[in-house]
Amino acid sequence: MLTGAAALLTLGLLVPGGGAADAARHAEPADSQPVTVSMTAENNGRAASLLDPAHPVWAHLAPTGAVTDVTARVELDGTPIHEWVAHLDTPDAFQGVTPVDCRGDEEAPPREVSCHFAVQAASGINRLQFHFSADHGRVDVEADGTITGGQFDWDAGWQVLDATGRWSAITREQPVLLPATMTSALRYVVTNTGDIPFRVTNGCEHRVIAAGARLVCLERGVRSVQSLARDYHELLKLKDAVGATAEPDILASIRSFAGVFGLESSSVIAGQNLVITASGLPRDQPFALQYRLRGESVLVGTTTRRAGSAQFTFPVPTVPPGTVQLDVIHNGLVIARLPVEVTRRPRHADDPPPAWLLPTAVVGGVLLMTSAVLVVIARRRRQRRSPAT
């Protein structure tokens, strides 16, 4: 998809204080000065060392046609040499391509030697093994570094705030229809779906977007859809660490209609029909709606005639009693949220009694019989105590 921009790579070796010195192995005569090998890589417009694994130097992948220009520089620091050869091994590179050796045979000793190697990077970490030898081994230096091959890729698009307060992605193929009285907002999101970090140079922030991260830019804050409705167009400009550029062109169209949604009754018995009323719908085309109750079942309804009002009826599934939220959905967006009170199903005469009713009835019957016996006994005692008439 992309052609890779050439990158200037750097290996820095024999740096005082460790670090780069650990990656170099060198041998030289005792009467000479230290030989220093340095390499730099240009990422984000500045030199970056290949010897620091915490800060990878990026290169485009070879299958995209990218070739990375690796420059190795040997600082001789007064060590006289005449004949020399520099070699770069890339054992992990794409299809094992080995760069051509760099050679020289000079009458006057040079102050430094600079070589360029064309490297075709594979995905992930690519080892670079540099070897410099002069005057039949009198000077011999080796250095190890890495370059990281990756892909420059992204995803960019618009998101709109729906009636539940969630951001939902919208496509550029068709306008988004929302009720005029609904409140919403609009933003665009750029996500790094590749490996190489990049910047959105004309976005709301200029920070580096790492792999998997995203940039969110609010275009229009929360307001009525009537004031939000219009066409939106952004030509974004992306630039990755290696220097490649891209210009995603994102479009969105928001349209409003005078839609109002309600319920014929604010409460419904579980298992019975719920009636939704809609008015102010667009008249020029059938209007398809979905209804989601408590995030579970989704039922579909479509206006069969091109009218501005409609009624949709569907049975409410058996759910525990209480207040639930009914989502009205159009083209994947929740455009209204209606509270519904679900009540218990009424008992019919032929329904079996509840499980708790039988033991209660037995206990009640026993108590009633006991009370009757006690009343009879008390009455007989009173009769015996009364004087004979």
Q: What is the DSSP string of 189-209?
A: EEEE-SSS-EEETTSS----B
User: Looking at 62-66, 326-330, 369-373, which range is the least confident one?
Assistant: 369-373
Please tell me the predicted confidence (pLDDT) of residue 345: 59
Average pLDDT in the 114-139 region? Answer: 91
Arithmetic mean of pLDDT over the chain? 81
As a whole number of angstroms, the distance between CA 205 and CA 217 comes to 8
Please tell me the predicted confidence (pLDDT) of residue 221: 97
Q: Is the pLDDT of residue 118 over 70?
A: yes
pLDDT band at 366 (very low <50, low <70, confident <90, very high): low
Give percent of the chain above pLDDT 90. Answer: 41
Per-residue tokens: 240: 């990755």
Query: Please, are residues 292 and 312 in contact by the beta-carbon 8 Å criterion?
Result: no
For 172-213, the pLDDT digits (tens) are 778 999 999 999 999 999 999 999 999 999 999 999 999 999
Please tell me the predicted confidence (pLDDT) of residue 28: 45
Please tell me the predicted confidence (pLDDT) of residue 200: 97
* Greatest extent of the chain over all pairs of C-alpha atoms, in Å: 161
pLDDT band at 97 (very low <50, low <70, confident <90, very high): confident
Q: Among 194, 148, 155, which Cα is nearest to 43's?
A: 148
Q: Among 276, 33, 4, 311, which Cα is nearest to 153's?
A: 4
Average pLDDT in the 142-161 region? Answer: 94
87, 101, 145, 307, 347 from 70: Cα distances, Å: 12, 12, 11, 68, 83
For 11-36, the pLDDT digits (tens) are 333 333 344 444 444 444 444 557 88
Q: Is the pLDDT of residue 2 over 50?
A: no
Average pLDDT in the 83-99 region? Answer: 88
pLDDT band at 4 (very low <50, low <70, confident <90, very high): very low
Please tell me the predicted confidence (pLDDT) of residue 5: 35
Please tell me the predicted confidence (pLDDT) of residue 279: 86
Give percent of the chain above pLDDT 70. Answer: 78
As a whole number of angstroms, the distance between CA 354 and CA 370 comes to 26
Q: Is the pLDDT of residue 376 over 80?
A: no
Q: Which structural domains are found in the chain, ordered by start?
A: 8-150 (2.60.40.10), 154-257 (no CATH), 260-343 (2.60.40.1930)
Please tell me the predicted confidence (pLDDT) of residue 319: 72
For 258-295, the pLDDT digits (tens) are 888 898 888 888 878 888 888 888 877 777 788 887 76
Average pLDDT in the 315-334 region? Answer: 84
**In terms of pTM, does the model score above 0.85?**
no
Query: Please, are residues 90 and 98 in contact by the beta-carbon 8 Å criterion?
Result: yes
pLDDT band at 101 (very low <50, low <70, confident <90, very high): very high
Please tell me the predicted confidence (pLDDT) of residue 249: 96
Please tell me the predicted confidence (pLDDT) of residue 32: 53
Please tell me the predicted confidence (pLDDT) of residue 372: 67
User: Looking at 125-134, 142-151, 226-235, 299-308, which range is the least confident one?
Assistant: 299-308
Q: Among 129, 123, 130, which Cα is nearest to 148's?
A: 123
Secondary structure (3-state) at 242: coil
Burial of residue 215, with CB atoms counted within 10 A of its CB: 0-12 exposed, 13-18 middle, 19 or more buried: buried
User: Looking at 162-166, 219-223, 284-288, which range is the least confident one?
Assistant: 284-288
Q: Is the pLDDT of residue 216 over 90?
A: yes
